[in-house]
Structure 1
Amino acid sequence: MNFRKNNKKHALRWEWEIRQHSAEAVRQLQDSMGLNPLLARVLISRGMKEHADVESFLNAQLANLSDPSHLVDMDKAVERLLRALNNREKICVYGDYDVDGITATVLLVRFFKRFGHDAVDYCIPNRISDGYGLKRSAIDRIAGSGAKLLITVDNGIASLDEVAYANSLGLDVIVTDHHQPGPQLPAAVAVVNPNRMDAGQTPNPLAGVGVTFKLLHALRRHLDVDIAEVNRFLISMLDLVALGTVADIVPLVGDNRIFVKHGIQQIQNTDKVGLQSLLENATGRDVVVSPNSISYYLAPRLNAAGRHDKAYLCVELLLTDDRDQARSLTRTINDLNDERRSIENDILESCLAYIEKNLVVEDQNVILVEGEGWHIGVVGIVASRLLERFYKPAIVLVVERDLARGSGRSIDGFDLYKALSACQEHLIEYGGHKMAAGLTLQAKNIPLLREAINQYAEGAMDEVVQTPRIYVDAEVFAEELTLENVSALSQIEPYGTSNPQPVFFIRGVSLLEPYRVVGNNHLKLQLCKDGLSFNGIGFSLASCYPELEDSSRTFDVAFTPVINDWRGNRNVEMEIKDIHFN
């Protein structure tokens, strides 16, 4: 990789990491597979050189989904689930209050009811009073309801004591989860987790809803139902799988890429009246569904209900077949999202004031902020906002009496789960994965945690990890930015984590006219290179480049090419990521 530092003022210091590729390898791939040259260059730069890998990536067929039986304990889970179905046992699905947990819950409940097993209920924990994961109070209610089988979705891997307690009440437990396992697994009938390493299992970065889908995928051949009918049902549920997968920000590679590619089509044409209502309310009737529209419009609304301890509204929205009920639930969820935004902004301002008063940001490897009276349901979002602002792992804790609970978010290259594991002597409980985690501790231990996690980060993060990066796929020339070439890049979609939109850079660009500031601090440019002109937009970048005041300067631009279609006129434009001045 090549690295290029920028001299940006009044903003984060970005480096461009330019991926390397062999021109000969690009030519061979282009000729042998008939690929567009710009597309071939991106694929090679991302390490896809073998024809089979390229074919699998570009086609992303449902037939290419990995065999669910390869997941450890899947056979045990299927056997116990079949016994419950055959014996008409009552089943309870225990979910989570985020989009991943909600969609996984709906997927299982819909499956059971669709194939004639009405003895099913679900439970979503209260985010504030219960917190994340299995709780004894919930297990008491579930056992008291007559349930014989409890299935966790998107949680359970860390609930050792709770699973043992459920067993003591005569309640069998199947754990399906994707969070990082600890050194000991719960004593469940089956623990299906793609991140289990105890049996030589190859890790698969599925979301919780993806693991749930795998369970049903494995179960389908054992049911006394026409398999074609089960297949049609599972395909119709890919809208839920895509929704939960994108919302949980898991890598869009392998199975996840297949889920999302086909699931987006299902969302666009969904038969679920609740999802139709949510989509129309959030985006309008004619929106083209993409991971971006899920991330920015659908997921925040569903998550907002969970943050207000009303995740059950989202479950009911995605289960209902009543259009009037769907519209009513959508209005309520939308109102909760508006309230969430206001609370989030207030807490963010409080966090920034805390940092200004108590911390020297440059001296912190991990930013840890504490406060009283904050809404526990939104501190994860606030941690993300702090990370975006300072490009450092961030933890936001809410102190209530002698306890502190909160959430953290991390940067590429720093495993937050491992960091908390190294500091567990100061914690009551914690869980999560590399990029996000939740934790609980005695409030008096907050200074000890701050010191311990910063000391751990001192040894775990070097300057490379701490420097924000833009990954550039290749250098391009202006004449290569044609409608044909840019259109060909759509074969890489759906974009997301580990499969971002292509980013290119072009040298020696100049301004055709002075820059403009439009909207909310967006930078609007008209760029010129080699006699060709392009419009450019840099979202939230208007205050980042004072050098642009000198319109005679030339500069290099890192950008994503996009096609603007306005009233039938299609043009290539640049979505600017960063500028380096010559």
Structure 2
Amino acid sequence: MSTLRIRRFPEQLAAIPAHTPDELCNWLYAQRGVTDPAEVAPGLSALAPLTTLHGLDSAVTRLIAALQADQQILVVGDYDADGATGSALAVRGLRDLGARRVSFLVPSRFSNGYGLSPALVDAAHAQGADLILTVDNGISSHAAIARANELGIAVVITDHHLAGDALPTADAIVNPNQPACHFPSKHLAGVGVVFYLLAALRGRLRELGWFSAARPEPNLADRLDLVALGTVADVVSLDRNNRILVEQGLRRIRAGRACAGVLALLEVAGREPTRATATDFGFFVAPRLNAAGRLTEMSLGVECLLTDDPIQARAMAQQLDALNRERKAIEGEMKEAAEAALVALMLDGAALPPGVCLFGADWHQGVLGIVAARLREHYHRPTITFADAGDGRLRGSGRSIEGLHLRDALDWVNRQYPDLIEYFGGHAMAAGLTLHAGMFERFRAAFIDAVRIQLGEVPPTPELRSDGALPAALLTLETAAALRVAGPWGKDFPEPRFDDVFQIIEARGVGDEQQHLKLKVSATGGTVIEAIGFNLGAQLEQAHGAVRLVYRLDVNHYRGRQTLQLLVDYLTAPN
């Protein structure tokens, strides 16, 4: 594991100026740029207005025509959790609003690739679709939309990815990141875009007198559980708008107002819906939902979120849980093989290059991104892992570190060596690409050069943010409970993390392969606290005497009893 620099924010802080859990929460909010606690996650009325999202009027007009003519609407989503929740929201929402003929189609990661393609449009035509509504994709699907135009199929795009120089010739495009859109939250997830579209559609239908006793007006806020899950799962920035959507969704889940699929996924993950948090979504629910798209087809995930039958939802959630366990096993094997290759490289006398690029002939395409992320975390190097796509091509998935824009690095390679990359796309921290099979070694050399240009020969020491040393009086179960429901925490609004010196009382490895570190530690004043460091089992030998822990507070529920627990993110020497 790479050495980390613990950096406190603010760095000059001597002690956290708080004496109660409420004071602590308010201080933490202020450190994240929110000085008024009421602004952390205000009500739905504080959401950015519909009128600022460019393209909504055209999209609503086309959807109303489809509803009035009883046309067949086909929702085409992506095969990740944002796409699955967005697809389920689109289908449920349109049905709530009175659409009678709505279905969905999710492309296969293995046979179709990402997004709307001409082949998918042909499949939609074969199903009799009159209108395609994309979710979390479509902004770069020029060829597919040209094909839809040829076949007379209308296309409404909802997406949130960056637009290219030219936009597709769709009937309507709703995307906060397209030119001329002044929507203030550029970080809206795909499922969030769908929620705005449905809200605008409901408003126009209300004006038209569409609703009646036989067709009552729905409360779309009842679908915010899906919006919250997809927003957290896609790891978009939790700006003010997204915090509202996530917090409002979590409140409904805690109150028991969630769809059967979300409740079932929480249950199989061992999380209590009445205490659901954004962390539960990010680390427990999203991986299970994503497992379908990684190993088989995301249709299973969408169906789980669409059913209203708790028994069916639980059965499908259990299938997703089994797929996630299979994914973990595949990931472990691939990571072990990748690490062996890197160790061999260093044993041969070569220093680890500034960028890592690895290929496994038998690696699974659906797990490449996760393995790249694990290697990135362990070695602190931008990492791309490749697998054989079985069609004469290699498919790669990359993850980056702070300071290196991965898509820009791939763009540099593509401009310098136009024959290397067949396709690439992504953003600063993650990207995907396709190579012809014989181009791997040339690409690896070019990628290392691209990384070297941005980062130099050795990437900078990674930093682990800490909010400082928590006062002993606040190292309590009450504080942990308050922080759990505060927030919501996530990207760019990070969960509070503290650091301090503790005395190790007891340390042991736990888990199937002793990969986790179970501790008992003594805080200032002699209080003994349980702690666990997930995936820190390799540091067992260091876990003795005085150590500095970087940790988060957690409430451990066991046999009806609640106790304070530290979630250890990093363990190092006390100085």
TM-score class, shorter-chain normalisation, is 0.7 to 0.9
Residue-by-residue CA offset, 1:227-276 (whole Å, 9 max, x unaligned): 99988531111111122122212222322212221222333424533333
Partner of 2:277: 290
Q: What is the aligned counterpart of 1:408 among 382, 398, 404?
A: 398
Aligned counterparts of 1:282 and 1:535: Cα–Cα separation in 2: 22
> Which residue is equivalent to 2:550?
558
**Match status 1:248 vs 2:234:** yes
Matched-pair contact (CA < 8 Å) for 2:356–2:381: yes
Work out whether residues 527 and 536 of structure 1, in 8 Å CA contact, stay in contact via their aligned partners in 2. no
Q: 1:383 aligns with which of 369, 372, 382?
A: 372
1:194 paired with 2:189, answer no
The partner residue of 1:56 within 28, 39, 44 is 39
Kept in 2, the 8 Å contact 1:241–1:260? The answer is yes
Match among 436, 445, 453 for residue 442 of structure 1: 436
Q: How does 1:131-146 map to 2 (within 5 A)?
A: 131-146=113-128
The answer as to 2:101 corresponding to 1:119 is yes
Distance verdict in 2 for CA 1:166–1:357, change over 3 Å? farther
Q: Which of the numbers 468, 479, 487 marks the counterpart of 1:474?
A: 468
**Which residue of structure 2 lines up, in the alignment, with residue 541 of structure 1?**
536
- Cα distance change on mapping 1:302 and 1:565 into 2, 3 Å: closer
Taking structure 2 as the reference length, the TM-score comes to 0.87
Secondary structure at the aligned position of 2:110 is classed as coil
What secondary structure sits across from 1:108 in the alignment? Answer: helix
Query: Does the 8 Å CA contact 2:369/2:399 hold for their aligned counterparts?
Result: yes
Write the distance in 1 (CA, Å) between the matches of 2:216 and 2:244.
18
Q: Does the residue aligned with 1:340 lie in a helix, a strand or coil?
A: helix
Which residue number corresponds to residue 84 of structure 2?
A: 102
Instruction: Note if 1:574 corresponds to 2:566.
Output: yes
Q: Which residue of 2 aligns with 1:17?
A: 7
| Contact 1:150–1:172, Cα closer than 8 Å, also in 2 | yes
Contact kept in structure 2, 1:39 and 1:485, CA below 8 Å: no
Q: Counterpart of 1:266?
A: 252
Structure 2 match to 1:305: 292
Change (3 A) 1:427 1:489: same
Partner residue of 1:503 out of 497, 504, 518:
497
Structure 1 position 347 matched with structure 2 position 339: no
Q: Which residue of 2 aligns with 1:6?
A: none
Q: 1:85 to 1:232 in 2, by over 3 A?
A: closer
Structure 2 residue aligned with 1:149, among 113, 131, 154?
A: 131
More displaced 10-residue stretch of structure 1: 124-133 or 302-311: 302-311
Match in the other structure for 1:320 = 307
1:44 is matched by which residue type in structure 2? A
2:357 corresponds to which of 368, 389, 393: 368
Q: CA 1:372 to 1:401, structure 2 compared with 1: closer, same or farther past 3 Å? A: farther
Residues 506 and 174 (structure 1 numbering): CA distance in 2 closer, same or farther, change over 3 Å? same
- Greater Cα shift, 529-538 or 302-311: 529-538
8 Å Cα contact 1:19-1:471 kept in structure 2: yes
What corresponds to 1:455 in structure 2?
449
After the TM superposition, which of the residue ranges 308-317 and 277-286 deviates more from structure 2?
A: 277-286
Q: Is residue 43 of structure 2 the alignment partner of residue 46 of structure 1?
A: no
The one-letter amino acid of 1:418's match is D
Cα displacement (A) at 1:71: 1.9
Q: CA deviation at 1:522?
A: 0.7
Query: Post-superposition shift, 1:445?
Result: 2.4
1:296, 1:43 → 2: CA distance? 23
How far apart are residue 343 of structure 1 and its match?
2.5
* 1:334-354 deviation per Cα after TM superposition (whole angstroms, max 9, x unaligned): 333333333222322332333
Q: Offset of 1:278 from its aligned partner?
A: 3.4
Using the TM superposition, give the Cα deviation of residue 555 of structure 1 relative to its aligned residue in structure 2, in angstroms. Answer: 4.7
Deviation at 1:475, TM superposition (A): 3.2
Change in Cα spacing, 1:272 to 1:570, as seen in structure 2 (3 Å) is closer
Q: Which moved more, 1:303-312 or 1:265-274?
A: 265-274
Residues 73 and 371 of structure 1: CA distance in aligned 2, closer, same or farther (over 3 Å): same
Paired AA for residue 412 in structure 2: A
1:178 aligns with 2:164: no
Q: Distance in 1 between matches of 2:560 and 2:292?
A: 39
Count of matched residue pairs: 559
Q: Write the letter of the residue equivalent to 1:37.
A: E
Secondary structure of residue in 1 paired with 2:553? strand
Post-superposition offset of 1:154: 0.8
Cα displacement (A) at 1:108: 1.0
Structure 2 Cα separation of the partners of residues 515 and 179 of structure 1: 45
Query: Distance between the aligned counterparts of 2:481 and 2:186, measured in 1?
Result: 31
Match of 1:421 among 396, 411, 414: 411
The residue number in structure 2 matching 1:89 is 71
Partner Cα separation in structure 1 for residue 160 and residue 173 of structure 2: 10
Change (3 A) 1:45 1:327: closer
Aligned partner of residue 310 in structure 1, secondary structure:
coil
> In structure 2, do the counterparts of structure 1 residues 126 and 477 end up closer, same or farther at CA, with 3 Å as the change threshold?
closer
Q: Deviation digits for residues 60-113 of structure 1, max 9, x if unmatched? A: 311111113212222222222222222322221111111111111111111222
Matched residue of 2:219: which SS?
helix
Percent of matched pairs sharing the same residue:
35
What is the letter of the counterpart of residue 305 of structure 1? A
Cα 1:384–1:76 shift into 2, 3 Å: same
Instruction: Give the alignment's TM-score, normalised by structure 1.
Output: 0.86
Change (3 A) 1:452 1:72: farther
CA distance in 2, matches of 1:307, 1:369: 19
What is the rounded CA distance, in whole Å, between the counterparts of 2:558 and 2:326 in structure 1? Answer: 35
The letter for the 2-side match of 1:109 is V
**Cα shift at 1:455:** 1.9
> Following TM superposition, by how much is the alpha carbon of 1:501 offset from its aligned partner in structure 2, in angstroms?
1.9
Deviations 1:152-208 (A, max 9, x none): 111112212221222122222221112222222222222222222455554521221
Whole-Å separation in 1 of the counterparts to 2:125 and 2:6 = 56
Question: How far, CA to CA, are the matches of 2:173 and 2:331 in structure 1?
Answer: 36
> Counterpart amino acid of 1:384?
A
Gaps of 5+ in 2: none
1:326/1:501 CA distance change after superposition, 3 Å: closer
Alignment CA distance shift 1:356-1:188 (3 Å): same
My pick for the range that moved more, 359-368 or 299-308, is 359-368
Checking the alignment, whether the CA contact within 8 Å between 1:518 and 1:524 is kept in structure 2 is no
Alignment CA distance shift 1:105-1:573 (3 Å): closer
Deviation at 1:474, TM superposition (A): 2.8
The code of the aligned residue for 2:519 comes to: K
C-alpha separation in 2, matches of 1:191 and 1:398 = 34
The answer to whether 1:214 aligns with 2:196 is yes
Task: Measure the CA separation in 2 of the matches of 1:117 and 1:441.
Answer: 42
Deviations 1:286-319 (A, max 9, x none): 7732233323332222222222332212222222
Q: Is the CA contact (8 Å cut-off) linking 2:360 and 2:386 kept in structure 1? A: yes
With over 3 angstroms needed to count, the CA separation of the structure-2 counterparts of 1:320 and 1:543, relative to structure 1, is closer
Task: Point out the more displaced range, 287-296 or 179-188.
Answer: 287-296
**1:366–1:72 Cα change, 3 Å:** farther
Whole-angstrom CA distance in 2 between matches of 1:555 and 1:337: 34
CA contact (8 A) 1:94 1:105 kept: yes
Structure 2 equivalent of residue 493 of structure 1: 487
